[in-house]
């Protein structure tokens, strides 16, 4: 099944990513507030996946509304969108999907309430379907960079589970694997929430793609000893100048990659590029509960009462980024020009 899907009974179904890899549990929501909570608690996570979740959440809000005219329905949707938008601040796909849903609701003000609700469900479904198609296009562009026999290093989970399906950074891995290229993936465990160990390892092993799990602090050693040919990561938001905001620890990798002459690419649907923010420093960095650091699977590993700082993302300045792979091609520096072309839908792969 996809990471998230709409069920004809009028409920949203999603894989509970907190339970993987030991249990594959599907949870269902008929209330948009449940979806908001699921995003906050990372039942579903990953920038494109939470965008789709927000869109389906708004479709649920439309079904739940008691409005008798389209204007009142729009007011209910704006309220629900504000709640969904507040769940996680960094990934721009969340706001992008909500804005697209609200724009559809505004343009459908002449419709009856029932037809508008159906149209909003269809729009959320389009967002989900387009995500998979876009990821396949990113995979095809990115696979041109992967040589037969490559060793790829990745961080966090930028796979199927971070999207509706097929992934971002792992879309490139999948596409190259499907083309018959021999490859091997080094998977950072990705503390504190271990998305690499729990999710990326699960996905790659399920598909028989050769991989090895490493502790985060082993990455520098591998890069220095020539055991990595390319670093591929996703992004939660990419600024107009090409600064990449992604899972905490990405910046360390990018600096170490450049120091060791290893190319570093972000794999990013254009919905993740935010041209309204000039640099990565303008992007809000989510800070999460300290328990994510002091505990692993409920087991306390630090002294009670210890002070903790737990930023969920970091900024990789664009000077460390070799290229940004989008569904419209691969953007190269100067990113302030090439990213605009990608967002405008112009064909890329320009150096
Ligand atoms: O906190 P998470 O697990 O939602 O963070 C996810 C990431 O950082 C991914 O790398 C990112 O969403 C891009 S991959 C689709």
* pLDDT of 266 higher than 60: yes
Is residue 347 very low, low, confident or very high in pLDDT (cuts 50, 70, 90)? low
CA of 118 to the centre of ligand 1 (A): 30
Token pair recorded at residue 25 = 């549990």
What CA–CA distance (Å, rounded) separates 117 from 97? Answer: 16
Per-residue pLDDT tens over the stretch 203-254: 999 999 999 999 999 999 999 999 999 999 999 999 999 999 999 999 999 9
Residues labelled catalytic = 236
Q: Is the CB of 247 under 6 A from ligand 1?
A: yes
* pLDDT of 346 higher than 80: no
C-alpha closest to that of 161 among 194, 184, 185, 186 = 194
Closest residue CA from atom 6 of ligand 1:
46
CA of 47 to the centre of ligand 1 (A): 5
* pLDDT of 351 higher than 80: no
The preferred substitution site among 14, 97, 172, 195 for testing ligand 1, maximizing ligand atoms within 8 Å of CB, is 195
Per-residue pLDDT tens over the stretch 40-53: 999 999 999 999 99
**pLDDT the model gives residue 22:** 96
CA of 156 to the centre of ligand 1 (A): 7
* pLDDT of 121 higher than 50: yes
Q: Is the CB of 163 under 6 A from ligand 1?
A: yes
C-alpha closest to that of 152 among 178, 131, 180, 181 = 181
Per-residue pLDDT tens over the stretch 267-296: 999 999 999 999 999 999 999 999 999 999
Q: Is the CB of 234 under 6 A from ligand 1?
A: yes
Q: What is the largest CA-CA distance in the chain?
A: 66
Measured from the Cβ of residue 343, the count of other Cβ atoms closer than 10 Å reads: 17
What CA–CA distance (Å, rounded) separates 279 from 332? Answer: 16
- Ligand 1 atom closest to residue 312's alpha carbon, by position in its atom list: 1
* Mean pLDDT for all residues in the chain: 97
Per-residue pLDDT tens over the stretch 77-91: 999 999 999 999 999
Answer left, alpha or beta for residue 18, where phi above 0 means left and psi between -120 and 50 means alpha. alpha
CA of 290 to the centre of ligand 1 (A): 19
Per-residue pLDDT tens over the stretch 14-40: 999 999 999 999 999 999 999 999 999
Is residue 202 very low, low, confident or very high in pLDDT (cuts 50, 70, 90)? very high
* pLDDT of 348 higher than 70: no
The values of phi and psi at residue 210, to 5°, are -60, 130
What CA–CA distance (Å, rounded) separates 324 from 173? Answer: 15
Q: What is the mean pLDDT of residues 142-151?
A: 98
SS (H, E, C) 29-49: ECCHHHHHHHHHCCCCCCHHH
* pLDDT of 66 higher than 90: yes
Are 101 and 124 in contact by the 8 Å Cβ rule? The answer is yes
Task: Please give the full DSSP string across 205-253, using - where no structure is assigned.
Answer: HHTT--EEEE-GGGHHHHHHTT--SEEEE--SEEETT--EEEETTHHHH
Per-residue pLDDT tens over the stretch 86-118: 999 999 999 999 999 999 999 999 999 999 999
Q: Is the CB of 195 under 6 A from ligand 1?
A: yes
CA of 234 to the centre of ligand 1 (A): 7
Q: Is the CB of 158 under 6 A from ligand 1?
A: yes
User: What sign has the CA pseudo-torsion 230, 236, 240, 244?
Assistant: negative
The values of phi and psi at residue 282, to 5°, are -90, 0
* pLDDT of 349 higher than 90: no
Strands lying side by side in the sheet with 323-326: 211-214, 183-188, 150-154, 230-233, 264-267, 323-326, 329-331
**Percentage with pLDDT > 70 across the chain:** 98
Model-level pTM? Answer: 0.96
Is residue 350 very low, low, confident or very high in pLDDT (cuts 50, 70, 90)? very low
Q: Is the CB of 87 under 6 A from ligand 1?
A: no
């Amino acid at each position: 099944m996809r990471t998230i899907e709409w069920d004809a009974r009028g409920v949203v179904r999603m894989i509970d990513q907190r339970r993987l890899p030991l249990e594959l549990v599907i949870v269902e929501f008929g209330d948009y507030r449940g979806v908001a909570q699921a995003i906050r608690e990372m039942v579903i996570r990953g920038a494109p996946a939470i965008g789709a979740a927000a869109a389906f959440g708004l479709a649920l809000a439309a079904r739940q509304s008691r409005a008798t005219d389209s204007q009142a329905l729009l007011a209910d949707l704006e309220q629900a969108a504000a709640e969904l938008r507040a769940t996680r601040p960094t990934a721009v796909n969340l706001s992008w999907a909500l804005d697209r849903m609200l724009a559809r609701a505004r343009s459908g003000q002449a419709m009856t309430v029932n037809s508008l609700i159906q149209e909003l469900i269809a729009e959320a479904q389009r967002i989900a379907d387009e995500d998979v198609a876009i990821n396949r296009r990113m995979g095809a562009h990115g696979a041109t960079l992967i040589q037969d026999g490559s060793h790829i290093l990745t961080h966090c989970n930028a796979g199927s589970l971070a999207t509706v399906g097929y992934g971002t950074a792992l879309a490139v891995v999948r596409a190259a694997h499907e083309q018959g290229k021999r490859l091997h993936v080094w998977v950072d465990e990705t503390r504190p929430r271990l998305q690499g160990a729990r999710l990326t390892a699960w996905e790659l092993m399920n598909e028989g793609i050769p991989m090895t799990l490493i502790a985060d602090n082993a990455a520098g050693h591998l890069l220095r000893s020539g055991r990595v040919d390319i670093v591929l990561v996703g992004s939660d938001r990419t600024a107009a100048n090409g600064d990449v905001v992604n899972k905490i620890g990405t910046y360390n990798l990018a600096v170490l990659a450049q120091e060791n002459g290893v190319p570093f690419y972000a794999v990013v649907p254009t919905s993740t590029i935010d041209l309204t923010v000039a640099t990565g420093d303008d992007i809000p960095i989510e800070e999460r509960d300290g328990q994510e650091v002091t505990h692993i699977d409920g087991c306390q590993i630090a002294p009670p009462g210890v002070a903790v700082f737990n930023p969920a993302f970091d900024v990789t300045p664009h000077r460390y980024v070799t290229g940004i792979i989008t569904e419209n091609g691969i953007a190269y520096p100067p990113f302030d020009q090439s990213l605009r072309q990608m967002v405008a839908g112009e064909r890329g792969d320009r150096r």
